[in-house]
């Protein structure tokens, strides 16, 4: 690298995990890096907040890449998120499903799970064994973290193929059906629930298998102290490396002159010049707000126009203070009296106990969160409400949900206090998240998995990071996309992409 290159300035718009990663890798590559984030705290959806002496952790249910033998772990480590000394929550299962007097669980221990599931549903033994066997195969699934796939050569593909040798079996058996269709393979009603409780029914079945395999293989642990603490560690790393983070500083647009992005204009009118710009915001917000919609790739345009084939998921969530040590119920789904939100009625919901992290609540007390999964249509319902209607609906639902939790767990009577509730709109307001989405597009059967190069056609110094560049999104895609954006700059400059 020569001196001129080292003085180049990279501006990153958006300080979520993707933006922070882009900033860190830009510094690592020898650039100056500044991140512009609209919120008072960086982190975007990898967030947590305090209420009445309790901490509400609102992201990491599992962090893919906690196995130090994986390349993704190296990326997290470079970003300061985790290292050899990181302590993880001592959780033992993915989740449980209850139906009537039956309860089944997906334990991290696959043998234990298989034994229990067969005991609970002997009529499904063959299908249970097949399911568990394929979870075992799916433990080999890795997220490419070295370089963008379009920069991979034959040797890289051969190596990836070797690493993921068993994944074709998973795709063959579960790649062409969704979770709803997976339930047809089981006779036991509680097994059917287990297959559709966690991921929405239109998710491909292999997504469930891979998610469970990540937990079961020890590559999806939860760092203690949660999401916000992890974000703050990444921010610290960025600043220690010399990066500049501007919070409370929303960007209005990326300035494009001819074929060049010359910088950004902030909401207050300030112009900031840059040599290269990386955007790390939601792509629905990017195209049409930060840059002209004409730059949107065709596939992405198609996806936004067809929310049936390319749905997203969000949630109506509530957090409670529990006046007891409510452990043992990590995540559990159960039947509930019907709850109506807009046109849709729900008869199942879940609670998750955060008893596994003592730092979230005063001694002897626990945080419990409940979630009702929300879709694109639900988002539009929330959006259609007036301010007063919105508040009234939130209050009404929170009270209804509290009642249902107490009905399912009578021991909580008189011991449960609402701390906060939030909707898909909250994620849009806070992060500009499309339809309040947690992740990228849901991978449904038959839809083309969304993946696009993080470049802007016709503008050779504007790059895109963020979870939307590759389905299904999530933290691992966000963190590698930041690295990949910097590698695209290096490749354009004919420098080594090894960073």
Ligand X SMILES: Cc1cc2nc3c(=O)[nH]c(=O)nc-3n(C[C@H](O)[C@H](O)[C@H](O)COP(=O)(O)OP(=O)(O)OC[C@H]3O[C@@H](n4cnc5c(N)ncnc54)[C@H](O)[C@@H]3O)c2cc1C
Quick note: the x/- pattern for ligand X over 231-270, rule CB under 6 A, is: -------------------xx-------------------
Report how far apart, in Å, the C-alpha atoms of 230 and of each of 59, 197, 213, 458 are.
11, 28, 23, 36
Region of 13-21, 123-131, 163-171, 237-245 interacting with ligand X (CB under 6 A):
13-21
Q: Which stretch binds ligand X (CB under 6 A): 53-61, 115-123, 297-305, 399-407?
A: 53-61
Give the up-direction half-sphere exposure of residue 342: CA atoms within 13 A in the CB hemisphere: 17
Residue 174 in contact with ligand X, rule: CB under 6 A: no
Query: Could you say which of 56, 106, 215, 475 contacts ligand X (CB under 6 A)?
Result: 475
| φ and ψ at residue 321, rounded to 5 degrees | -95, 130
Find, among 47, 48, 81, the residue nearest to 65 by Cα.
81
Q: Facing residues of 54 across strands?
A: 51
Query: Could you please report the per-residue DSSP string of 349-402?
Result: EEEEE-TT-GGGSSTT-EEEEEEEEE-HHHHHHHHHS-HHHHHHHHHHHHHHHH
Provide the pairing of β-strand 455-456 with 459-464: antiparallel
Number of residues counted as binding ligand X (CB under 6 A): 39
Asked if 46 touches ligand X (CB under 6 A), the answer is yes
Cα gap 499→484, rounded to integer Å: 10
CA dist 402 and 349 (Å) reads 11
Determine, following the binding rule CB under 6 A, whether residue 34 of this chain makes contact with ligand X: no
Site string for ligand X, 402-431 (x = CB under 6 A): -------------------------x---x
Question: Does residue 470 contact residue 453 with C-beta atoms inside 8 Å?
Answer: no
What residues from 61 to 90 belong to the interface with ligand X (CB under 6 A)?
61-62, 64
How far are the Cα atoms of 31, 206, 242, 336, 390 from residue 322, in angstroms, in the given order?
Answer: 48, 35, 42, 20, 26
Cα–Cα distance measured from residue 491 to residue 95, given in angstroms and rounded to the nearest whole number: 43
Question: In terms of CB distance, is 65 or 194 closer to ligand X?
Answer: 65
Residue range at the interface with ligand X (CB under 6 A); choices 24-32, 91-99, 169-177, 466-474? 466-474
From 144-152, 203-211, 380-388, 433-441, span contacting ligand X (CB under 6 A): 433-441
Q: Which of 11, 22, 24, 59 binds ligand X (CB under 6 A)?
A: 59
104 touches 128 (CB < 8 A): no
Q: Which is nearer to ligand X, 285 or 326 (CB)?
A: 285
Cα–Cα distance, 264 to 36 (Å, whole number)? 10
Which listed residue (438, 441, 463, 484) binds ligand X by CB under 6 A? 438
As measured in angstroms, the least distance from the Cβ of 251 to ligand X is: 4
439 binds ligand X (CB under 6 A): yes
Report in angstroms how near the CB of residue 128 gets to ligand X at its nearest.
25
| Residues at the interface with ligand X (CB under 6 A) | 13-19, 36-39, 44-46, 58-62, 64, 250-251, 280-282, 285, 427, 431-433, 438-439, 466-467, 473-476, 478
């Amino acid at each position: 690298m020569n001196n001129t290159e080292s003085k180049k300035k990279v501006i990153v718009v958006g300080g979520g995990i993707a933006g922070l990663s882009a900033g860190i890798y830009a510094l690592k590559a020898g650039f100056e890096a500044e991140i512009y984030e609209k919120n008072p705290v960086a982190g975007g959806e990898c967030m947590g907040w305090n209420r009445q002496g309790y901490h509400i952790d609102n992201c990491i249910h599992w962090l893919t890449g906690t196995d130090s033998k994986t390349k993704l772990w190296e990326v997290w480590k470079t970003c300061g998120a985790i290292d050899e000394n990181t302590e993880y929550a001592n959780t033992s299962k993915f989740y449980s499903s209850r139906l009537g007097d039956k309860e089944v669980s997906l334990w991290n221990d696959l043998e234990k799970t298989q034994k229990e599931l067969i005991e609970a549903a002997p009529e499904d033994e063959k299908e249970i064994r097949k399911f568990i066997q394929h979870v075992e195969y799916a433990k080999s699934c890795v997220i490419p973290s070295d370089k963008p796939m379009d920069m991979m050569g034959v040797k890289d593909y051969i190596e990836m193929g070797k690493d993921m040798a068993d994944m074709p079996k998973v795709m063959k058996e579960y790649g062409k059906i969704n979770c709803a269709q997976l339930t047809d393979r089981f006779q036991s009603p509680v097994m059917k629930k287990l297959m559709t409780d966690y991921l929405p029914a239109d998710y491909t079945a292999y997504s469930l298998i891979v998610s469970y395999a990540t937990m079961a293989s020890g590559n999806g642990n939860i760092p203690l102290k949660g999401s916000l603490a992890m974000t703050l560690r990444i921010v610290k790393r960025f600043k220690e490396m010399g990066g500049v983070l501007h919070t409370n500083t929303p960007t209005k647009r990326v300035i494009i002159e001819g074929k060049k992005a010359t910088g950004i204009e902030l909401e207050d009118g300030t112009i900031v010049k840059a040599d290269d710009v990386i955007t790390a915001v939601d792509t629905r917000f990017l195209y049409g707000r930060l840059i002209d919609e004409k730059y949107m790739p065709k596939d992405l345009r198609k996806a936004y126009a067809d929310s049936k084939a390319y749905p997203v998921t969000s949630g109506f969530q509530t957090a409670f203070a529990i006046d007891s040590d409510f452990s043992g119920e990590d995540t559990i789904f159960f039947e509930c009296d019907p709850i109506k939100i807009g046109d849709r009625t729900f008869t199942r919901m879940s609670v998750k106990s955060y008893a596994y992290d003592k730092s979230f609540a005063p001694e002897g007390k626990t945080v419990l969160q409940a979630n009702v999964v929300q879709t694109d249509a639900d988002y539009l319902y929330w959006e259609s409400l007036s301010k007063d209607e919105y508040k009234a609906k939130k209050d009404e639902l929170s009270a209804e949900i509290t009642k249902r939790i107490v009905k399912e767990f009578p021991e909580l009577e008189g011991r449960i206090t609402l701390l906060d509730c939030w909707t898909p709109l909250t994620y849009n307001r806070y992060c500009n998240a499309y339809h309040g989405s947690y992740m990228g597009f849901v991978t449904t059967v038959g839809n083309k998995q969304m993946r696009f190069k993080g470049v802007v056609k016709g503008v050779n110094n504007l790059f895109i990071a963020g979870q939307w560049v590759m389905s299904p999104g999530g933290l691992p895609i966000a963190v590698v996309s930041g690295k990949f954006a910097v590698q695209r700059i290096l490749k354009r400059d004919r420098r080594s992409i090894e960073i």
